[in-house]
Amino acid sequence: MASDSTAVSQTTRPTRRLPLQWVGIAPFAAFTLLFLILPTMKIVVGAFQTPDGSFTLENIQGLFTPSILAAYWISIKISLSSALLGCLIGFGMATAVILGGLPLWIRGPLLTFSGVASNFAGVPLAFAFLATLGPMGLVTVFLRTQIGIDLRSLGFNLLSFWGLTLTYLFFQIPLMVLIITPAIDGLKREWKEAASILGATNLQYWRLVAFPILLPSILGTLALLFANAFGAVATAIALTGSSLNIVPILLFAQIRGDVLGNPHLGYALAFGMIVVTGVANAIYIWLRARSERWLK
């Protein structure tokens, strides 16, 4: 009887199977591990190592030299200015399309273009702006020869602080449109009707009802746009080369293998960028969670 019960228990024991629903995310998990987690760990470890592999804090201390602090400050100013302008212009565009009474057919092309333009960066974007607003760009030459306006004499230089900020706006504004559109869609019509019944003007409705509800989404998107601009490397290098001392260009100079380069100081620079962008993304996630609770 004991052998029979053992056989029955073995036949009725459920077999373990690999859950197939996890197979679908296997490529994403592998991609994240290979191209995000492992490189980040290498950067963090390398920031606290000497060339022979021993522990040191000299690389982190090197971040507080005047030249590196100046590079971080310029990068923060460019990221903040492009994020602020991107939020302002993008919010105005999204509000005009959704609530401004514009034709409905405009919304589809705007969101489609925003989805493409928000990922258009690097060398193609730099070339597009150089061909348009560079020293011999199409618009620059047209304004100088046909209208008599010389952008260079007016102080505009694409390879400068405001030139790089203007270039970043090409992907900052569409990203703002994509993120803020669902939040604006979440504004309930009943809220505006209730405000109108109580005698509130349109300005009062926006100041006292709509804007406070949208504020967490706007501030969260501002933090995301700041992180997006601060981590943009290819566009800055392709556009300005070494003419503008910002962190991505300084990082490239340290890790490209020149005689004067210090790869571990480059790791420390990258580690500082990870900290800054990590804080900005954490703020975005926290504020987005707050805004979603409001809009449910």
Written as one string, the DSSP assignment of the chain is -HHHHHHHHHHHSPPP---GGGGGGHHHHHHHIIIIIHHHHHHHHHTTB-TTS-B-SHHHHHTTSHHHHHHHHHHHHHHHHHHHHHHHHHHHHHHHHHTS---GGGHHHHHHHHHHHTT--SHHHHHHHHHHHSTT-HHHHHIIIII---TTTTT--SSSHHHHHHHHHHHHHHHHHHHHHHHHHTS-HHHHHHHHHTT--HHHHIIIIIHHHHHHHHHHHHHHHHHHHHT--HHHHHHHTTSS--HHHHHHHHHS--TT--HHHHHHHHHHHHHHHHHHHHHHHHHHHHHHHHH-
Tell me what pLDDT residue 151 has.
Answer: 84
Per-residue confidence (pLDDT) for residue 22, from 0 to 100: 76
Residue ranges per structural domain of the chain: 53-295
- The pTM of this model reads 0.84
- Tell me what pLDDT residue 259 has: 47
Q: Per CATH, the architecture of 53-295 is what?
A: Orthogonal Bundle (1.10)
pLDDT grade, residue 260 (50/70/90)? low
Residues 254-273 have a mean pLDDT of 77
In this predicted model, what pLDDT tens digit does every residue of 31-59 receive, in sequence order? 889 988 998 899 899 999 888 888 999 98
pLDDT value of residue 174: 95
Q: How confident is the model at residue 257 (pLDDT cuts 50, 70, 90)?
A: low
Percent of the chain past pLDDT 90, that is, above it, reads: 30
Mean pLDDT estimate for the chain: 85
